Amino acid sequence: MNAMQLWRSVLSKDLRLAARRRSDAINPLIFLLMVITLFPLGVGPGPDILSRIAPGIIWVAALLATLLGVDRIFKDDYADGSLEQLCLLPQPLAFTVSAKMVSHWLLSGLPLVILSPLLALLLNLPGSAYGALSLSLLFGTPALSALAATGASLTLPLQRGSALVSLILLPLFIPILIFATSAVESAGMGMAVHGQLAILAAISVLTVTLAPLAVAAGVRMSVN
């Protein structure tokens, strides 16, 4: 089995497991929709207030939804020993674990992009900002998944590592949050957003490129 076949095998395995345990994949989306739906009840239904704070609400909810169950990215493979087998294979571990990052994005990041028009509608976001919101999620969520996999790999031996993962990841999420909300707010005011979106894309490219190396190193330390 070559490296590409192994990568596809790991990805398809994760997607099949997610299809069997649908609650693990659906819970973050339910949490996101609950936050978006209940938030107007707390701050009031005023359309001006909601449209002004909508970018921050959507992106903070997306970050928190990403953190739900992030410790399970490698937990099952670590428990059944398959992660140790991956470390022993001749194929590059960094390339193999990138399949875990892709599966996490397909299950958590891509649904956010698809649901973004609904989220914008619920919070009365200006129509001119719909595209910027979708693009910011499309460009920003790959970095979230890459960072989530990095944090999960560092806390594998811990029984309850989800709290530690959150503490590790939240500071790393802040630049993404700043540029993403700035892009959506600027689009709502009719301003250009190319700069913010370009920075988001650059962050994602850099993170997705380097994160597999960090994840592979974290997995090896945890397994050994």
Triad 97, 102, 103: Cα angle to 5°: 95
> Sign of dihedral through CA atoms 22, 23, 25, 27?
positive
More confident residue, 175 or 162: 175
Residue 180 has pLDDT above 90, yes or no: yes
What's the whole-number mean pLDDT along residues 130-156? 91
Whole-number Å distance between alpha carbons of 130 and 203 = 22
What's the whole-number mean pLDDT along residues 191-203? 92
> Across the chain, what does the average pLDDT equal?
86
Triad 132, 175, 53: Cα angle to 5°: 50
Residue range of the domain that includes 69: 3-223
Residue 10 has pLDDT above 70, yes or no: yes
- Print burial letters for 120-152: b (CB count within 10 Å at least 16), e (below 16): bebbbbbeebbebbbbbbbbbbbbbbbbbbbbb
pLDDT at 160: 67
pLDDT at 89: 84
Task: Burial-class residue 189 by CB neighbours within 10 Å (0-12, 13-18, 19+).
Answer: exposed
Confidence label for 159 from pLDDT (cuts 50, 70 and 90): low
| Residue 205 · residue 139 · CB < 8 Å | no
Q: What does pTM read for this prediction?
A: 0.90
pLDDT in tens, 67-126: 887 877 888 788 788 888 888 888 888 998 999 999 999 988 898 899 888 888 888 888
Residue percentage of the chain with pLDDT more than 70 = 96
* Angstrom distances, CA of residue 33 to CA of 8, 27, 109: 31, 10, 14
Q: How many residues does the chain have?
A: 224
pLDDT in tens, 142-154: 999 999 999 888 8
DSSP 8-state secondary structure symbol assigned to residue 90: S
Structure token digits, residue 80: 């059944």
Number of domains in the chain: 1
Whole-number Å distance between alpha carbons of 137 and 58 = 10
Confidence label for 163 from pLDDT (cuts 50, 70 and 90): confident
pLDDT in tens, 48-73: 778 888 888 899 988 888 888 787 78
